[in-house]
Amino acid sequence: MHHFWGVEQKNKYDDFKARPIVPGRVINLSQLRDSHCPVSSFLKAQKLSLLFSLCGLELFEEAAHLFYANLYVSNDSGELETLVMGSCIIVNELLFENVIGTKFFGVIPYMNDTWPDDFEVSLEGAKAAVAEPGADLTDFCPLFLFFDHRILAHIVATTLLPRKGSLSSISNWDILLISRILVVRLMDLSMLKPIEINATYDSRTFSSLGYVEVGNKWVKKDSIKARVDIGKPTKISAKSAALLLSDSDELKT
């Protein structure tokens, strides 16, 4: 099994995980079902197109952390990095409305008042296009996103949105994760071996999330404590033991 992180991916994760998390938004995957994105065709060929109709998905918070599927505000520039880990996305009118959270009412001269099927726009440019004159662009932010869904937002942002080079960005781990989502709908971190976890999280950080290494697997401390508590013997004082023996002798007579 391949490690999830290469050097470039790990460096990118280290950079992103230090930034503050901001609320995001839920992706309606059904909107991408009939898109012209090469990856959507690829997933259909791999019989994974059910991903587009998922609802009520549950994922552990730690799993989302492992795949750096968070939404952040850059400490350097203050720019909002929403569904894509980059400066530009290719959107149409519907995607623009969903990403920015508002309808487009402006006029872009070089478009002749119409939206082409696909065009590239920066996030800052998109916010400026829908803002009232003199509006504070910092007021624009993504809609609320449950933390459980951020892993899907990451997959959509990096592989499914119709953007340049999208097909080349899908990885074996993306396919593995999508398959597990479809089959078990719950990501169990114990499936990850420590060597693979250490490639993304050091042991100290991962342990701080409430996990402990047992038999080459990471499991919740609570589950271990529960098992220990069940088998814990009851302490009996010498005096209580003597009384029990006395009662037992009386029953025999």
DSSP state of 67: T
Residue 230 lies in a domain: no
The three-state secondary structure class of 240 is helix
The three-state secondary structure class of 252 is helix
The CA-CA-CA angle for residues 214, 215, 217, to 5°, reads 70
Both tokens assigned to 69:
């599927």
Residue 198 lies in a domain: no
| Res 163: pLDDT | 34
Residue 250 lies in a domain: no
Residue 77 lies in a domain: yes
Residue 52 lies in a domain: yes
Q: Determine the Cα–Cα distance for residues 168 and 123; give it in Å rounded to an integer.
A: 23
pLDDT in tens, the chain (253 residues): 223 334 554 555 455 455 443 333 333 445 445 554 444 555 566 555 665 554 444 333 333 333 333 333 334 433 323 333 333 333 445 555 554 455 555 444 333 444 444 444 444 555 555 455 565 555 444 333 333 344 444 444 444 333 333 334 445 445 555 555 544 444 443 443 333 333 344 455 456 555 666 655 556 565 444 444 444 444 445 555 555 555 555 545 5
Q: Determine the Cα–Cα distance for residues 18 and 20; give it in Å rounded to an integer.
A: 7
| Res 221: pLDDT | 61
Both tokens assigned to 151:
């892993």
Residue 91 lies in a domain: yes
Residue 87 lies in a domain: yes
CB 209 within 8 A of CB 202: no
Domain range for residue 126?
Answer: 7-190
Residue 18 lies in a domain: yes
Both tokens assigned to 223:
């589950």
